[in-house]
Structure 1
Amino acid sequence: MTREQKTELVAELKQKFETTPYFYIVSASGMNSAETSNLRRMCYERGVEYRVIKNTLIKKALEDQEVDYAPFNDNVLKGFSGVMFHPESGKVPAQLIKDYRKKSGKDKLQFKGASVDASLFIGADQIDRLIALKSKQEMLGEVIAILQSPAKNVLGALQSGGHKLAGILKTLSEKEEQAA
């Protein structure tokens, strides 16, 4: 790869890291071509972009970002690295990694680190935590449901109370008519 190609790739990666809030760094070393093909197929099916990139190029692309990715330099950007990008969810790549490992063996695809909405997750023990994360849409849905709940309760009480009040008034008016 020429110096110009590397510069172009770093610029492209910088843009990708800026615009994609969810990316994972994994190690797929020791995988044969069939296993790698399986991984790429799973990524494609789930809308995950997977690219194998040299660690030095990843480091250069992460240097000028708003988020401090320095913790990645110590453990994450060592050895063979592949980057998984997903534009909408921080959960999808984590689930993909877990599913792939269950299917192909725990030693085949190693999770090294991730950035989810500028929060860093480092180490294989973080994968279950990432799967449990809720997306922004899920959290907004829960907040809206919580906010709507009291309003629905008040409306329900007013409507049922209104029916009761109308029934009482009707009964009283009928009693007055019978008494007269």
Structure 2
Amino acid sequence: MKKELKDTIIAELGEKLKAYPHFYLVDLAGLNAEKTSELRRKCFKSEIKLLVVKNNLLHRALMAADVDFEPLYGCLKGSTAVMFTQTANTPAKLLKDYKKDGVPALKAAYAEESFFVGADKLEELASLKSKNELIADVVALLQSPAKNVVSALQSGANTIHGVLKTLGERPE
């Protein structure tokens, strides 16, 4: 491979590292062509960018990045594919579906500005909540007291006495 081509690939990987806040390093060895195509289709549907890369070129791109990715350098052995994503837990959920086959295997991940090294971190990554899920939880918590007051007002026939009686009868 010519030096110009290598430099271009490193620059493209650097751009992807900037564009996507989360990425997973995965070992695809052991997948046949059919399973690899199926995985690529599922990644496309889930808005995950899957790239098979040379470890040396990825290492150079990680070294040139603004973030210190040193904990991931040890995982760059064997065949490596990178799953770039905007949502931290989406690739983990996809990989969990394949867990029974053991392929593809998680090597490491950079998600929510944290490093997760090793295949045993897959459950932890899958349980991470996305930004939208966290917002939905907060909104639900904020709406709960308001719903209680509204239901108390409606059940008490719109009287202060009825509201106090209804709130007093509710179990804690």
Say whether the 8 Å CA contact 1:39–1:100 is kept in structure 2: no
1:12 corresponding residue in structure 2: 12
2:78 corresponding residue in structure 1: 79
Structure 2 unaligned spans of 5+: 163-172
Say whether the 8 Å CA contact 2:20–2:85 is kept in structure 1: yes
1:178 corresponding residue in structure 2: none
Alignment of 1:20-39 (within 5 A): 20-39=20-39
- The answer to which structure has the higher helix fraction is 1
Q: CA deviation at 1:71?
A: 0.6
Say whether the 8 Å CA contact 1:62–1:69 is kept in structure 2: yes
TM-score (norm 2): 0.82
1:163 corresponding residue in structure 2: 158
Q: CA deviation at 1:44?
A: 2.2
Pairing 1:116–2:111 present: yes
SS at match of 1:121: strand
- Aligned pair in 2 of structure 1 residues 149, 66: CA closer, same or farther (>3 Å)? farther
- Aligned pair in 2 of structure 1 residues 54, 154: CA closer, same or farther (>3 Å)? same
Q: CA deviation at 1:81?
A: 0.3
Query: What is the total number of aligned residue pairs between the two structures?
Result: 162
4+ residue segments displaced more than 6 Å: none
Structure 1 unaligned spans of 5+: 168-180
SS at match of 1:115: strand
Is 37-46 or 148-157 further displaced after alignment? 148-157
Distance in 1 of aligned mates of 2:145 and 2:161? 24
Identity, in percent, stands at 43
RMSD of the alignment, in Å?
A: 2.2
User: Which amino acid is 1:97 matched to?
Assistant: L
Say whether the 8 Å CA contact 2:55–2:80 is kept in structure 1: yes
Which protein is bigger by CA-based radius of gyration? Answer: 1
**Residue 98 of structure 1: which of 93, 96, 102 is its match?**
96
Distance in 2 of aligned mates of 1:157 and 1:80? 61
- Aligned pair in 2 of structure 1 residues 46, 165: CA closer, same or farther (>3 Å)? closer
**Residue 142 of structure 1: which of 137, 140, 143 is its match?**
137
1:29-63 CA distance string (max 9 Å, x none): 13332232222222223222111001111111111
